[in-house]
Structure formats: C-alpha cells, structure tokens
Structure 1
Amino acid sequence: MVSVLVAAYNEECVIAEKIKNMSELDYPADRIEFLVGSDGSSDRTVKIANSFLDIPNLKVFELPRGGKVHALNALIRAAKGDILVFSDANTMYDRQAIRMLVRRFGDPAIGLVSGQLRYKVDETSGQGAKSEGVYWKYENWVKMHESKLGRLSGANGAIYALRKGIVPEIRTGIVNDDFYTATYTMQAGWDVIMEAEAVAYEVPNDDMGSQFKRHVRDGAGHYQAMTVFWKMLFARKGSFTYVSHRVVRWLVPFLLIAAFFSNLALSFINSVMLVVFCLQATGYAVLILYWFVTSRGGELPGKIGNFIQLTFYFMSVNLALLVGFFKCVGGKQCAAWETQRF
C-alpha cells in the first residue's frame, strides 16, 4: 500500500494537472491513495482539487496555514500506506515512477528511495533555466555514485519514498524537509539510495530573482541542518558523503571570500599573486556587468554567453547561500514557503 503526499500552497495553476498525473500512474488502484493537503491556500487550490473527488482514492485536506512541514505531518498521520511517497504539486511523474520506487523496498536494509528529477529544458528555455538544468544533471550524477554505497546525502523533495514509521514526524521549524527526512533515516541506520528509473519532470523557473529567493531559503535550511545533524560531522554511517557533498559545498561562500582577501593581501608582496588578483577582480566585474545587462532584458549569445551564465549561476547560488546563512543565524528564515510560478 502506497500513500502519495502532496503539500500545496496556492497551486491553482498546476493542481489539476498534478491530480490527473497521479490518477494515471501505473499502480494498482486498490493499493495507492493520493493525499493533497492545502496549507492555508488563499486561491482556488482546494476548490479545484475537490472537483476531482470522483477519484475514489483521492483525499483533499484543507489545513490552516502552518508551513509545508505542518501540512506534511498532517498527511503522514492520515496516510494508510506502508510506503509514503512525497511529491510537489508542480512535479509530474513518469507512469512507472511509483513502481520503480517501491520495488527497491524489497531490500530490508533500505529505508528511503529518492527518484530522479529532470528539468524540461529545450532551445526555447532561457539561460537561467538551462543553468538549472545543467546543475541538476551534475547533481544526479553525484547522487548516483553515492547511492551505490547506500549513503545518498539528501533526497529530492519532488520524488522520494519512505518506509512509514522511520520518521514519525518531521521536526517543527525545519526548512528543508526532504533533506531532514533522508538524513534522519540514514542516521537511524537505514540505507538511503536513488532509483534512476523513477523519473519526475518539472519546468524550471527561468526568473533569476525567483531562483535566488529559493536558493536563499534552501541555504538557510542547509545551515540549519548542520546544527540538527551535528553528529554526522563525525565518523558514522553516511558521514563521508554528508561532509564531502554537503558541508564542504555550504562552506564555499566563505572560501570564496577568503580566497579574494588572501589574494588581495598576497598581491602586495608577490607579482604573480597581483596578476591572479587582477584576474579574479576582472571575473567578478564581468559577472556584475552580465547581471546589469540581463536584468534589463539583454542576453549574451554563443558559447561565451553560456559559460558566463553558468559562472554567474554558480556565484549567485553561493551568494544566496551566504544570505541564507545570516538568515539562519538571525532566525529570520520562516519555515512556511511561498509558491512562485512563472
């Protein structure tokens, strides 16, 4: 028995497509249920979802605004399935996705299985969407290798499955529920893996401002995770992938700052370091100029433009991480999320 959980906030633009997608999944109808929880939506999300109640295994919950974790915990308590599948409202599953996830639980050592998210990017997509797509291709490649060890460092919130009971509820105030669930499962001694054939699709948000806000929120959640799972910093199951893939990445903004100022200091005593500093400063100047041009509707064509865009994406993600760090330290990152669809 499988329960598919979807926490939704103001998703009137996609909730109908999501419910249709779930109803068309290739899985026995008597062994699957779909639970949609509206987290205090102020639009037509609940009304649209209720129009599909002729689907016998669909249940819609109208919940007070409390954040995604609040909504997911309500759905976890209501779920009847042995396996809980977590999904986002704007994520569409391949018809075989649930089967591909569930089959891996034949191994009693496995506690959580993450699927693979693919972004729908083509020639008409903007440079922001293309950069996001490139990043996820790299991320999925890393995760596939971690999965071979049973030490996957974090699930994808768009598509992952969990044995019911391993995580009784998600801790209140958690920002990144998917990372919390996967790390909690691994820390409890279970294997966490990725199933590459369990595929989900999303259309990436091409607006760089919206991407930045999402990365800030994720960044705050990452630093929060370091305090929650501090034991993972020491030798234990999954600590190598956690530190090498996650913690080191979260330190990159501070390493970039250290590289800049240490290079500046060395440039006064070494001519080679002066050249390196000039190159570094020129690189940042080019990225600022790129932001100025693209924010006004301009675009840099060709391979050079693509390279600068990828570099800009890298730097903007790390800037967002830095902002997220200060939000986390200052306690200013709200656990509730705002839906942004373009």
Structure 2
Amino acid sequence: MMIEIVFWISVAFVLYAYAGYPLVLALLGLFHRKVVKKEPIQPSVAFVITAFNEEKRIQSKLLNTLEQDYPKDRMDIVVASDCSVDKTDEIVQAFASSGVRLVRLPLKGGKEAAQKFAVESTESEVLIFSDVATTLRPNAVATIVTNFADPSVGCVSSVDRFVDKDGRVSGEGAYVAYEMLLRRLESSVNSLVGLSGSFFAARREVCRNWAPDLQSDFNTLLNSVRGGLRGVSDSESIGYYTNLADERKEYERKVRTVVRGISVFMRSLTLLNPLKYNVFAWQLLSHKLCRWVVPFALIIAFICNAVLAVHHGLYSSLFALQLAFYGIAILYIWSQKLPKIAMFRLPSFFVMVNVSILDAWVRYLRGDRILYWDPSKR
C-alpha cells in the first residue's frame, strides 16, 4: 500500500538525518581525510565580546580574557555594548588601562549588529568572538589561531564543555556529545556546517561582508565556503559554559537558534548547488535542512502508523512502541518524577528538540526574525 511506502520513507528519513549522515561521513573519512596543518603562529588578533546588560558577568569575563597567554601587542580586546542600560559600560571602561576598548552602538541593533560594529573598529588579521558566559583556558587564543597556518581554513570552531555551578567540568550530555562528533567527522572529510557561537575565530576577509541581521556563527561559516575556504573544529580549543538555569529558557533558546538558522539558510540556497560547492552542498542539506524537516517526518510516520496498526500486527507493535516513547517523553517533561537516566531523559530531549523546531518554523513563516537578545541566565 502507498501508506506503507510513505511510512517507511518517513522512518528512513529520520534515521538518515540522525544516524545515516554521520555514518556516511565516517565511511568517507576512511578514504578521504583532510588534516589541518597547524603551526604555532601569532597573527594580530581582535578578541570581540558582545554585551547587553551584563554587569554581573562582564568583569569576570574580562579578567579571564586578560589571562590569555598571547602577546599583548598582538591582541586587541574589544567589548561591543548593544546600548546596555546597566553598569556594563562603566565596568568595561575601568579596564581601559589594561588595553580593553569599549565600543557602544548608537542604537540598539542586536548581537550581530554589535559584532559588526566591533569588527569595523579593528584591523587585526584574525577575529575571535566569545560570549560573556564562556570561560576559556589561558592558552585558548594561542591554540585556536594555530589553525590559520593552514591556508585552506577560513574559520575555526571551539568544542563546547559544560561546567556545574562549582566550576567543575560535568557531563557533556548526549546532544552536545553528538554535535561534537558530527563536527569532528565533518572537519576530517571537508568542512564544518556550523560553528560554536560561544567561541569561534575567523580570518578577517571572511568577516568583511558581515550581515547585522543574520546568525553570525552560521553565516561566518557559509562566508568561508563562498570564499573557497572551509571551517574546522579544533578539539584543543574549548569553551566552558554552564547550563541555563531555567529549562523553559533552554527551550526558547533552541527556538531562537533554529529561527535564526533558517533565516541564514534561506538566504544561502545557492550553496546547495553540488556542481559548484561539491561535498559541502550535501553536508548543508543533510546537517541543516534534513534535521529541520525531521518533525514533519515524525508526524507523518505517526499518522501512517496509526492507520496501519489496525490492519497488521507488525505495525500494531511499532505503534505501541511509538506511544510508549512519546508517553515517557511527555511524562518526564511534565512531571519530572521519572529517574534522571538516559532511558527516560533522551526521549524527552528528542521530543523537546523537535517541538522547538516545529515552533521555530511557525515563527519563521509568520515573519519572526529575532534580531534582539537578552543575556541568558546561567
């Protein structure tokens, strides 16, 4: 029956998006591996921090940044204030004698607009972007710039690590571990498809056409590819950050991230041309668009399975498994009484991620573009 074909195509699509794509990358890596030719270089660096009402965290961020083991005369530290109305600017100005510069937007424009304003105030060869909430090792800058000794590299992503409230490195979480695995596989085969927004670096030429209304980490990667360069992940460049204090805020963060990602993607459809962008066109389609279409495939699979369950024992069993999976997810999300182990947590996280993607599509289609931002409470 046609409904059976639709069901299995939907299931296969979901499996490809989450398991098939990394599997193909791993297989390609066995035959074609791109190694980054890293060398200890010291290009001039502009370290850009964007801030909006960050009076509680900006001092610790600046102290952490000033601890970088990198020549002071080669590093320009710039804080771009997006019209902060608290004491952020005052605190930053107190660090002027340490070489920290404050640039303040004349009008509130959002994170990317603040980054653009900061970029235009610098002349350095390499630009490094880091969020206020991200803590770095003293060798972070020196480590991440070594990747630019390779002329094929246009931008570099750090690796994300969680820390608990006491500052100790905690578990990555299945989702973060999965994303870091994808980055390693993509780097080894060709190029990343996205960067870690909390800590990444890029050549100056990649940042010349900075879009103030597009997600900077994703768009910087795409600009690199347009320029014939690639993005790589550096396992030795690590950004440490804590989880959001409120899980509802985490959901909203995911929705915002997807809405902003879709906005970049829709303005970059020419990169899907395999004749011009080769392997990257397939990567972009698989990593981004396929993942964003998964919620629709899940809905189709559920509806088809419900119809087929009436007629065949196999489909009855599969439908029962689906009901159990979603039931556990909903119970975990709403009651929070189930044990916090992977067996119960993963279904709830999977459902939350895909619901947030659906939510993001709705917001995008109704015209939401999310330019402005508030600091996440961590």
**What is the TM-score with the length of structure 1 in the denominator?**
0.91
- Judge conservation of contact 1:26–1:99 (CA < 8 Å) in 2: yes
Corresponding residue for residue 328 of structure 1? 364
CA shift digits 1:319-342 (9 cap, x unpaired): 111111111111123211122214
- After TM superposition, give the deviation of residue 124 of structure 1 in Å: 11
Q: Map Cα deviations across residues 83-140 of structure 1 (whole Å, 9 max, x no partner).
A: 0001111111111111111111111221111121211149999xxx96x633212211
Give the Å deviation of 1:239.
1.6
- 1:119 to 1:105, Cα distance in 2 relative to 1, 3 A: same
Q: CA RMSD in A?
A: 2.0
| 2: CA distance, partners of 1:203 / 1:21 | 16
Contact 1:82-1:163 at 8 Å conserved across structures: yes
Q: Secondary structure at the match of 1:333?
A: coil
Which residue is equivalent to 1:118?
161
What is the alpha-carbon distance in structure 2 between the residues aligned to residue 44 and residue 159 of structure 1?
24
Letter in 1 for 2:338: L
Give yes or no for the alignment of 1:222 onto 2:258.
Answer: no
User: In 1, distance between residues paired with 2:339 and 2:331?
Assistant: 15
Distance 1:31 1:42, change over 3 A: same
1:23 equivalent in structure 2: 66
CA distance in 2, matches of 1:155, 1:110: 13
Partner residue of 1:40 out of 83, 91, 113:
83
What is the CA distance between 1:308 and its match in structure 2?
Answer: 1.2
Question: 1:84-233, aligned counterparts within 5 Å?
Answer: 84-121=127-164, 133-174=173-214, 176-233=215-272
- Change in Cα spacing, 1:163 to 1:123, as seen in structure 2 (3 Å) is closer
Map of 2:338 onto structure 1: 300
- Distance between the aligned counterparts of 1:200 and 1:286, measured in 2? 33
Runs of 4+ in 1 over 6 A off after TM superposition: 122-125
Is the alpha carbon distance of 1:62 and 1:213 closer, same or farther for their aligned partners in structure 2, counting shifts above 3 Å?
A: same
Question: 1:141-167, CA deviations, whole angstroms, 9 ceiling, x for partnerless residues?
Answer: 110121113411111111111110223
Pick aligned residue for 1:311 from 347, 351, 372: 347
Paired with 1:124 and 1:327, the residues of 2 have a C-alpha distance of 36
State whether structure 2 residue 328 is matched by structure 1 residue 286: yes
2:199 counterpart letter in structure 1:
I
Displacement of 1:43: 2.1
Amino acid at match of 1:139: E
CA distance in 1, matches of 2:152, 2:164: 36
Deviations 1:225-272 (A, max 9, x none): 321111222312412222222221111111111111111121232232
Deviates more, 1:153-162 or 1:27-36: 153-162
- Aligned pairs for 1:196-275 (under 5 A) are 196-235=235-274, 236-237=277-278, 238-275=280-317
**Counterpart position of 2:95:** 52
Change (3 A) 1:234 1:270: farther
| 2:155–2:202 Cα contact (<8 Å) kept | yes
**What is the letter of the counterpart of residue 248 of structure 1?**
C
Structure 1 pair 261/177, CA: closer, same or farther in 2 (3 Å)? same
Aligned to 1:339: 375
Amino acid at match of 1:155: L
One-letter identity of the residue aligned with 1:95: P
Question: What is the count of residue pairs matched by the alignment?
Answer: 330
Q: CA, structure 1 residues 105+22, in 2 after alignment: closer, same or farther (shift >3 Å)?
A: same
Identity %: 28
Residues 250 and 321 in structure 1, CA contact (< 8 A), matched pair in contact too? yes
1:78 aligns to what SS in structure 2? coil
Q: CA deviation at 1:36?
A: 0.4
The CA distance in 2 between the partners of 1:313 and 1:45, in whole Å, is 35
Structure 2 gaps of 5+ residues are 1-43
Q: Deviations over 1:191-214 (max 9, x none)?
A: 211111111111111421010000
